Structure 1
Amino acid sequence: MNMGWLLALVWASASPCSAAMASRAGAAPVGGLRLPRVGGLQTSGVSQGPLPSLALNSSLPGAGTLAPALSPDPKPLFAAAGTVPEASPLVPLRAAAAAAALFPDSPAMPFPAARGPPRSQAELPPELAAFFAGAKAAPESPETRDFLVSLPARFDGMSAPERGAVLAGLEDAAKSAPKAKLLRRTLQALIVRDEVEHMEPRLLGAAVSAARREDVASKTRFEEVRWYHHFWGKIVHPEADGVAQRSDLSISLHVRRGWEKLPSFTAFYRALFAHEYTHRLQYEGRVTEKLGVEIPPVAAEMLRGIELVGLEGLRQGLIGFITENQLSGFDNGRAWMRSAEKASSGVFWKGFLAGAAYELAAQTGRWADAWLLHRLVSSGKSLPEAERTVRGSDPAARLAASRPDAVIFDWDNTLVDERGVVDAIRLRLFRELGVPTPTREEADRVWRTDRDGFYDRFFPGIPRDTVNKTYFAIMERMQPRNPLLPGARETLAALKRRGVPLAVVSNKPEAQLLRELKALGLEDFFAYVQGHTPARELKPSPQPILEAMRALGVAGGNVWYLGDEPGDMAAARGAGAQGIFLGTGDLPRFLSSVVKKLPE
């Protein structure tokens, strides 16, 4: 046989099929646009740097068992705070610019910070725990097979926590015996049956019917991928993680060798199903393809992935098919949602829609708004139009409708810009506490996405209070001179002309706060100034704001508290005041859109 002909045949047999390639293999954004790498927003006009964390909440089905490990980074321009979970006093880093919104209170219960599978084996009901222990010991015994055969019929009638426990237990057993195919296939079948009940409400806003669930389950299969030959009637591309077929609405989720090494098989295939099921909805005409066939599916997989493993989990690769390009598009989508002047293009980048939806939910305090934005865009609305629908009425107009009884300001990164000295303080902090110094990018990324993890990772074994006290001691020694932010003096002057009492409440040590206030010549603007002293609690406790309100002789309700941290918003809410997020650099727009329109 001619060797050249043989090599050509082998090459041809290994060529990827175009249908499968179109589903999952390509990592580049639609149109070939190359986005910057993950690790920082590279969009012009958007400040760089870490943002504080905010846990979100949801009324979506399954929230109790599949709660997202969310640490979003909200920085809306002036967003009235809803429920914000309490946060500990934090080592301040750098702030960043943000976008505008004003919203009603969000639901009261925040998502827990879930990590990994929603239920551990220890939480299984006794009967199921005993079964899975036996299945690990004898994965192919007649007793194990009989139980597995009966499990799907029982699964549909279980509560959401019970389902989560079953899937976690099945995954544990299947990974311990990867050659026991019935264990894995039962796990796979139950993932699909459960996941369609999660995705139908998220993607279409309605519960799935029993008939629909059965149809989807019967047309979704897991296929083992080792090799393929394009002369065969059915082609499976080994680089594609899944594919949905337009012809028969079937879904194939591909399982490769080494599947048992996935951090979470269940989370991986839930997110993959979310992607391919969105394709099926496109082929049924229920989700638009006008944006580009991959845009809604990629957004669905990323939002679902965040619910399952958290944003930091996505960046760590826990959902392996979510690429750096998609995460860069995600970051640009968040930047778009924060920006004051929103370009009309960009949603065609993979990940962009998910980032915009995530940021909007971070600003409203309602995780369900992320999926609402997804549904609106997937139904054909433009991204700006969908945003307006979710947000409701104009926030600036609502704020400017009546003059507040008092306005209380946070200090750092609300009225003054402390970003110029923070990196130097942080560098000394790592050195003084004798811990390795991470790169700025690494520290910023962890701070943005996992506030508790920042202390645990970089200061292991050191009490958080010690870290905070050391930080402020370094700041006291340095005595930095922080400049006023643009628009700060003008905003204070405009409010004072309108007869609004002004105050400052900051977690900064009071002696240093008073020095900075005097150096900037702002003493005459404020009727009351309060920094931290040993006798006072730190925000997010409402005590500091309540103390300021008593000093000003005002009650809550019509008192504004402007700050740049979720802890500020938690403190305002606890004190009964109207919390307003202010991103660093947003005062000029707040001045023109709200303050100057207040009655004099």
Structure 2
Amino acid sequence: MQENRVRHGGLPSVQAILFDKDGTLLDFTHMWGFWTDCVLHDFREQLSTRGLSLDEDELSQIWGTFHDEQGRMNGYDIRGPLAMGTMEEVYAVLTWHGYRAGLSWAEAKMIVRACLAQAEEAMEVHRPALPLPGVREYLEQSRRKGLKMGVVTADETANAVKHLQWMGLNAYFDVVIGTDLVDRGKPFPDMVLLACERLGVQTQQVVVIGDTDGDMEMARAAGAGYRIGIGAPGSIHLADRTIEGFHELLPGGLGR
């Protein structure tokens, strides 16, 4: 079989691209804003029935999210827990805030799990996963070039596959690695190393694309050949190149 090779500047041939999911392939605020609003609304109600409340001034500090006057999430801190943490870490942070509000640790854990379950039910109904502009075109272009593609995400694998299916993007990816498949999640290199092993490629022949420095540190630690950050100029310090959107990689892409 003829080996597909794509040049990227002075790098060795690029054989594969690994993508972060949230904030890279899909609109982070559109999906996780929906989820956050569901969870926090139910959590507030649970506290209220017990005569307790969250400190609204600290709302943005729970998960590193920004909110409008109605309390709806309308942005996020790319350095924060929701953007960079595992789901178990996100759950633990909210449990801590429940404890701070006056719940016992055990009760806080139970309430958080119940709120999460309700939010997941709402997600299944509304399926608020929206691809970022240019994603589908870039994936199609990369597939035509013969590049292998994978997803490395702080989300759990089953959820990641489901979200890709909601967007109709799952067929593009040869492997999906969630944080539950490795001992250490981002920013450690484990997910990139596992993805490369399953794809049968060397780490130096891989480009990693993500929207946080956690993604870039994971790629650096794994020895990835190139790191592309998606965000405002200067916002992702560890990237070899920062783009504001996939339109900057079209039509030439990695072969440009």
For 2:175, the equivalent position in structure 1 comes to 528
Does the CA-based 8 Å contact 1:430-1:436 persist in structure 2?
no
Does the CA-based 8 Å contact 1:430-1:437 persist in structure 2?
no
Does the CA-based 8 Å contact 1:536-1:544 persist in structure 2?
no
For 1:490, the equivalent position in structure 2 comes to 137
Calculate the aligned-residue CA RMSD, in Å. 3.7
Alignment of 1:167-186 (within 5 A): none
For 1:437, the equivalent position in structure 2 comes to 56
**2:120 paired residue among 469, 476, 480:** 476
Does the CA-based 8 Å contact 1:416-1:485 persist in structure 2?
yes
**2:160 paired residue among 491, 498, 513:** 513
Tell me, what secondary structure is at the counterpart of 1:554? Answer: coil
Deviation at 1:460, TM superposition (A): 7.8
**1:459 paired residue among 97, 100, 116:** 97
Q: Note if 1:582 corresponds to 2:230.
A: yes
Deviation at 1:531, TM superposition (A): 2.2
Once the two structures are overlaid, the 10-residue window that deviates more, 578-587 or 498-507, is 578-587
Separation in 2 of the partners of 1:560 and 1:531?
A: 18
Deviation at 1:411, TM superposition (A): 0.8
Letter in 2 for 1:406: A
Separation in 1 of the partners of 2:151 and 2:116?
A: 19
TM-score after normalising by structure 1: 0.28
5+ residue gaps, structure 2 = 1-6, 48-53, 68-75, 82-89, 233-243
Separation in 2 of the partners of 1:477 and 1:428?
A: 10
Q: Aligned in 2, Cα 1:439/1:573: closer, same or farther, shift over 3 Å?
A: same
Separation in 2 of the partners of 1:568 and 1:416?
A: 15
Letter in 1 for 2:56: T
For 1:541, the equivalent position in structure 2 comes to 188
Separation in 1 of the partners of 2:187 and 2:137?
A: 28
Q: Note if 1:591 corresponds to 2:250.
A: yes
Alignment of 1:28-39 (within 5 A): none
Deviation at 1:525, TM superposition (A): 1.5
1:349-397 Cα shifts (integer Å, max 9, x gaps): xxxxxxxxxxxxxxxxxxxxxxxxxxxxxxxxxxxxxxxxxxxxxxxxx
Separation in 1 of the partners of 2:160 and 2:35?
A: 17
Q: How many residues align?
A: 194
Tell me, what secondary structure is at the counterpart of 1:533? Answer: helix
Separation in 2 of the partners of 1:533 and 1:411?
A: 15
Does the CA-based 8 Å contact 1:427-1:437 persist in structure 2?
no
Q: Aligned in 2, Cα 1:537/1:476: closer, same or farther, shift over 3 Å?
A: farther
1:543-580 Cα shifts (integer Å, max 9, x gaps): 11111010011122221111111111111111111322
1:168-209 Cα shifts (integer Å, max 9, x gaps): xxxxxxxxxxxxxxxxxxxxxxxxxxxxxxxxxxxxxxxxxx
Does the CA-based 8 Å contact 2:17-2:150 persist in structure 1?
yes
Deviation at 1:522, TM superposition (A): 2.2
Larger relative strand fraction: 2
Separation in 2 of the partners of 1:510 and 1:423?
A: 20
Deviation at 1:497, TM superposition (A): 1.3
Q: Note if 1:499 corresponds to 2:146.
A: yes
For 1:415, the equivalent position in structure 2 comes to 25
**2:36 paired residue among 406, 413, 426:** 426
For 2:240, the equivalent position in structure 1 comes to none
Does the CA-based 8 Å contact 1:506-1:531 persist in structure 2?
yes
Q: Quick one: percent identity of the two aligned structures?
A: 25
Q: Note if 1:572 corresponds to 2:191.
A: no
Separation in 1 of the partners of 2:254 and 2:22?
A: 20
Does the CA-based 8 Å contact 1:494-1:595 persist in structure 2?
no
Q: Aligned in 2, Cα 1:404/1:474: closer, same or farther, shift over 3 Å?
A: farther
Tell me, what secondary structure is at the counterpart of 1:561? Answer: strand
Separation in 1 of the partners of 2:116 and 2:182?
A: 16
Q: Aligned in 2, Cα 1:485/1:513: closer, same or farther, shift over 3 Å?
A: same
For 2:241, the equivalent position in structure 1 comes to none
Deviation at 1:430, TM superposition (A): 3.7
Does the CA-based 8 Å contact 1:491-1:595 persist in structure 2?
no
Separation in 2 of the partners of 1:545 and 1:527?
A: 13
Deviation at 1:451, TM superposition (A): 4.5
TM-score after normalising by structure 2: 0.61
Deviation at 1:588, TM superposition (A): 0.9
Q: Aligned in 2, Cα 1:535/1:415: closer, same or farther, shift over 3 Å?
A: closer
For 2:16, the equivalent position in structure 1 comes to 406
1:308-350 Cα shifts (integer Å, max 9, x gaps): xxxxxxxxxxxxxxxxxxxxxxxxxxxxxxxxxxxxxxxxxxx
Tell me, what secondary structure is at the counterpart of 2:228? Answer: strand
Q: Aligned in 2, Cα 1:473/1:573: closer, same or farther, shift over 3 Å?
A: farther
Separation in 2 of the partners of 1:540 and 1:498?
A: 29
Does the CA-based 8 Å contact 2:196-2:202 persist in structure 1?
yes
Letter in 1 for 2:55: P
Alignment of 1:233-244 (within 5 A): none
Q: Note if 1:550 corresponds to 2:186.
A: no
Does the CA-based 8 Å contact 1:505-1:530 persist in structure 2?
yes
Separation in 1 of the partners of 2:78 and 2:211?
A: 16
Letter in 2 for 1:586: G
